[in-house]
Amino acid sequence: MAASADDDRREALRLVPVSRETGDRFSAFVDLIARWRKTTNLIAESTFPVVWSRHIADSAQLMALAPEARRWVDMGSGAGFPGLVIAIQLADVPGAMVHLIESDQRKCAFLREAARATQAPATIHAARVEAIDSAALGPVDAVTARAFAPLPLTLKLARPWIERGATAVFPRGESARDQVAELPEATAYAIELIPSLIDARSAILRVRKS
């Protein structure tokens, strides 16, 4: 028998526990996805029945990999994974801000509504990452991207923030180790491979300036 949405929610919050307030904000976010997905291509339709584990928890686990970070950049935010999930987790943290960079105008409209509804400290930038003046965003503690681009390009675009001391946190799936092995400039970074809490076969890269 297929797991219900409630089962998926419970399992997601078991894997990545959060406060009741954060869980309520996540629920409001999922409700918005449910409404908007009928007109805007936010996530693959096949993943909506497991949106809590596949998207919410998978994004929420990243916070623990840069626990002191308060100011984040999310490159290619799409439907808000992981950036808006991280912003929701930081909703009650003084000085927190997550910059969501997304070039699709319809997704930006969704992100603005989701940030408003969840009271998440997020700023939406309707632009390509390449067009963003990294220095203009101010101090950044962490940069992330999920399902965004091949690893070499992801690192190239994140490099301005990494060079200024930001920790990069990139979910890279089951082939993460091979991706790092094939990276010509791997020695320019300190790269850790961390198993995903959601899928032990997948890994998350934590990258710092070498």
Query: CB count, 10 Å around CB of 22?
Result: 19
Distance, in Å, from the CA atom of 152 to the CA atom of 160, rounded to the nearest integer, reads 14
Return the number of other C-beta atoms located less than 10 Å from residue 122's C-beta: 27
- Assign 3-class secondary structure to 99-113: EEEECCHHHHHHHHH
- Can you give the pLDDT at residue 3? 61
Which CATH fold topology does 5-209 show? Rossmann fold (3.40.50)
Amino acid at 1: M
Give the model confidence (pLDDT) of 58-72 as tens digits: 999 999 999 999 999
Q: pLDDT band for 140, please (50, 70, 90 cuts).
A: very high
CA distances from 173 to 45, 64, 179, 187, 189 (A): 20, 18, 10, 21, 19
pLDDT given for residue 188 in this prediction = 84
Specify the pairing of strand 71-75 against strand 97-102.
parallel
Domain range annotation of the chain: 5-209
pLDDT tens, 156-210?
999 999 999 999 999 999 999 999 999 987 788 999 999 999 999 999 999 999 8
The size of the chain, in residues, is: 210
Sign of CA dihedral 200, 59, 67, 136: positive
| pLDDT for the residue numbered 25 | 98
pTM assigned to the model: 0.95
The first and second tokens of residue 205, run together, are 């890269």
Per residue, what are the HEC states of the chain? CCCCHHHHHHHHHHHCCCCHHHHHHHHHHHHHHHHHCCCCCCCCHHHHHHHHHHHHHHHHHHHHHCCCCCEEEEECCCCCCCHHHHHHHCCCCCCCEEEEEECCHHHHHHHHHHHHHHCCCEEEEECCHHHCCHHHHCCCCEEECCCCCCHHHHHHHHHHHHHCCCEEEEEEECCHHHHHHCCCCHHHEEEEEEECCCCCCCEEEEEEEC
